[in-house]
Amino acid sequence: MKTFLRLTTIVRPYYLWMALAALIGFATTGSGIGLLVTSGYIIAKASLQPPLGALQLGIIGVRVFGIARGVLRYAERVVSHSTTFRILAKLRLWFYDAIEPLAPARLLYFKSGDLLQRVVDDIQSLENIYTRVLAPPFTALLVSTLMWLLLGTYSLQASLLLLFFHLLAGIAIPLIVITLGKGTQSGIMDLKTDQQVLAIDFLQGIGELKLYGKLPAHLAEMQCNEAKMLRLQHKNACIDGLHESLTGLLMNAAVIAILCALVPTLPKAGTNGIYLTVITFAVMASFEPFLSLPASMKNLEVDVRAGNRLFEILDAKPETAAPPEPASFPENHIIRAENLTFTYPGNHIRSLEKISFTVEPGRHIAIVGPSGAGKSTVTSLLMRFWNLPCGQLSIGGKDIGLFDPEEIRRNIALVSQRTYLFAETIRENLLLAKPDASDDELKDALTAAGLGCFTSRLDEWTGQHGMKLSGGERQRIAIARVLLQKAPIVILDEATANLDPITEKEVTGTLAAICRGNTLIAITHRLKAMERYDRIIVLEKGKISEQGSHDELMRKNGTYRRMWELQHSENPGRENDDA
């Protein structure tokens, strides 16, 4: 209920439009009633053989109502749908606004497919609320009220009878339908989610399923799941049909009841009989708005669920936010970490424990250690993806929390192992780093990054996720971005780890060349050409175990030396003699 109310409050700016839609809806149904009533009036009156002029009013009436009904319905639909789609477009934008500050810390536990489903499917399914749930009950209410008043002037008894049947159609039947269908909609949704998971396992894992002889079982499971869902959908269809029939039954029962009430009161002579015909038609037509009621109520279950999923995102609090008066990025950007301790939410093992280090401007630092040692956590904290619960991290002597996170990200360039490329042109992907860069600047950056061949291909599409480019080319695009960004600090987070050894060597060379004047933090577990770093920090299980230059660490005979020897033992001298 709470979710439903919240969903309706979103309508507030469009309140007048929604009211207009309901009013036109009322006028549409009114015209329908008018058409039948005036036609009934014409034949009833005509059967009494009045002068021709007496029918004139009725004849005009049928024409007007006949045309009005169609035109009004068109207008009602256009107004309600265009309002709804405006609301949905706004919701999508809100969703983006809400999700943007959440990345990446708060989105860690959401899959992108799930988020996409929320932003596209869930929002689309809310269409139902705005076009079918809010206005129809209102229209039904207006129509009923009008009918009671009109009928009441003729016969109170008939009016009360109609009220009774309208209440049954408007409240009892929807309640019955909802009770009968309880759980089917959400059951269908659950089964659909299961089916989606099964489908992904099927499509992505066919190879494994075949190799392990599990394909028939998996197919059977999917088929069984589908059958279960179809059974529920069939149940739903039965309920739908039942509702339609019940409303039809009520409509005809109302006709019988009102006839029974009115016929005995009919005077033996006179024109009152005309009303009998007219009222019968009016009663029949007045049930039209009730037909759509239960269908919309039934979908409410789905809509509220969709709403809940949306609010889950809209209500999440971002991990980091800019302070009210952010400090400007200092010229002397010495980075100092003191007693950094960090645990990812939900984990029980600390990722970092009392880490302290200093990076002076212009220095090249390497952070090494086995995977899972907490190397990348240092980056995430520095880039302000996460807040610091304990310890201190400062740039140029100012606590990192004093800066606007965007300011920090502009001044620290990060190249990670997987460069994300948007499904746009190469130019667009480069402009991310410097939106106002000229084509010449882009070409220079590409050339310096070793992608000289791309300078004439700026408008080429990179494909979904940059699939048209090789891993090496993607990392080089990342290098070109760093060049364009002109950030004083560069972090290389396993920047070449995903490349094959040959490409890796080439890319590493380019990187070393372009970082010469910058402060550099390189995170790696491949210990290669370590002499080029001013200092090496060795991380093990979240703690710093050693720190120093390559030579110092080699002399120490500790973890570093062990790692280094392990990695270099795979090339015994014999190879070199052979080659």
Partner 1 sequence: MNIDRRLFRLIREEKRPFIFSAVSGAAASILLIAQAYCLSRAISGAFIERSGMAGIVPFLGYFALVTLLRMLCNWITHVKAAEGSIVIRERLFGRLVSRIADLGPLYARSISSGRISATMLKGVEALDPYFSSYIPQIFLALFTPLLIVAAILPDDWLSALILLLSAPLIPFFMIVIGKSASAVTEKQWKSMSRMSGQFLDILQGLTTLKLFAQSARQRKSIEETGENFRKATMKVLKIAFLSSLALELVGTIGTAIIAVSIGTRLMENRLSFRQALFVLILTPDFYLPLRQLGTKFHAGMEGVSASKEIFAILEEEIAAAPVRPSVGAENPETGGIVFSGITYAYPGATVPAADSVSFTIPEGRTTALIGPSGAGKSTLINLLLRFLEPSGGCITYKGTPIGEIAPETWHNLISWVPQHPHLFNATLRENILIAMPGASDQMLQNALQDSGLTDVVQSLPRGLDTIIGEQGSRLSGGEAQRVALARAFLKNAPIIVLDEPTSHTDPELEALLRSSMKVLTKERTTLIIAHRLETIRNADRIVVISGGKITGSGTHEELIGTDGFYRHALHLLQEAAA
The tokens describing 313, both together, are 């995102």
Question: Under the criterion CB under 8 A, does residue 155 sit at the interface with partner 1?
Answer: no
3-state SS string for 71-136: HHHHHHHHHHHHHHHHHHHHHHHHHHHHHHHHCCHHHCCCCHHHHHHHHHHHHHHCHHHHHHHCHH
Question: Under the criterion CB under 8 A, does residue 561 sit at the interface with partner 1?
Answer: no
Residues 474-503 that bind partner 1 (CB under 8 A): 481, 485, 497-502
Binding mask 449-478 for partner 1 (x = CB under 8 A): ---------------xx----x--------
Q: How far apart are CB 1 and partner 1 at their closest, in Å?
A: 29
Q: How far apart are CB 542 and partner 1 at their closest, in Å?
A: 12
Query: Phi/psi of residue 16, each to 5°?
Result: -65, -40
CA atoms within 13 A on the CB side of 370: 9
Question: Under the criterion CB under 8 A, does residue 328 sit at the interface with partner 1?
Answer: no
Question: Under the criterion CB under 8 A, does residue 149 sit at the interface with partner 1?
Answer: no
How far apart, in whole angstroms, are the C-alpha atoms of residue 122 and residue 108? 20
How far apart, in whole angstroms, are the C-alpha atoms of residue 72 and residue 31? 9
How far apart, in whole angstroms, are the C-alpha atoms of residue 523 and residue 543? 15
Q: How far apart are CB 2 and partner 1 at their closest, in Å?
A: 27
How far apart, in whole angstroms, are the C-alpha atoms of residue 75 and residue 63? 18
Q: Between vectors from CA 553 to CA 549 and to CA 558, what angle results, nearest 5°? A: 155
CA atoms within 13 A on the CB side of 99: 22
Residues 103-142 that bind partner 1 (CB under 8 A): 103-104, 107, 111-113, 115-116, 119-120
294, 246, 10, 12: which is closest to 133 by C-alpha? 294
Q: How far apart are CB 5 and partner 1 at their closest, in Å?
A: 25
Nearer to partner 1, 102 or 393 (CB): 102
Which residues make Cβ contacts (< 8 Å) with residue 91, sequence separation at least 6?
10, 123, 126, 310
Q: How far apart are CB 200 and partner 1 at their closest, in Å?
A: 5
Residues 64-93 that bind partner 1 (CB under 8 A): 65-67, 69-71, 73-74, 77-78, 81-82, 85-86, 88-89, 92-93
Tell me which residue has tokens 């807040």.
387
Q: How far apart are CB 210 and partner 1 at their closest, in Å?
A: 5
Q: How far apart are CB 435 and partner 1 at their closest, in Å?
A: 7
Helix (H/G/I), strand (E/B), else coil: 340: strand
Nearer to partner 1, 188 or 304 (CB): 188
Nearer to partner 1, 328 or 356 (CB): 328
Stretch that binds partner 1, among 31-39, 293-301, 309-317, 357-365 (CB under 8 A): 31-39
Question: Under the criterion CB under 8 A, does residue 573 sit at the interface with partner 1?
Answer: no
N residues, the chain: 579
Question: Under the criterion CB under 8 A, does residue 230 sit at the interface with partner 1?
Answer: yes
Question: Under the criterion CB under 8 A, does residue 99 sit at the interface with partner 1?
Answer: yes
Nearer to partner 1, 13 or 113 (CB): 113
Question: Under the criterion CB under 8 A, does residue 349 sit at the interface with partner 1?
Answer: yes
**Size of site (CB under 8 A) for partner 1:** 156
* Candidate residues 9, 153, 179, 576; the one interacting with partner 1 per rule CB under 8 A: 576
Binding mask 405-444 for partner 1 (x = CB under 8 A): -xx-xx---x--x-xxxxx--------xx-x---------
Which residues make Cβ contacts (< 8 Å) with residue 501, sequence separation at least 6?
none
The partner residues of 365 in beta bridges, in order of sequence, read: 521, 535
Q: For residues 180 and 239, is the Cβ–Cβ distance under 8 A?
A: yes
Nearer to partner 1, 58 or 174 (CB): 58
How far apart, in whole angstroms, are the C-alpha atoms of residue 166 and residue 156? 15
Nearer to partner 1, 393 or 487 (CB): 487
Binding mask 189-228 for partner 1 (x = CB under 8 A): ---x--xxxxxxxxxxxxxx-xxxxxx---x--xx--xx-
**Other C-beta atoms within 10 Å of 169: how many?**
28
Residues 232-271 that bind partner 1 (CB under 8 A): 233-234, 237-238, 240-242, 244-246, 248-249, 252-253, 255-256, 259-260, 263-264, 266, 268-269
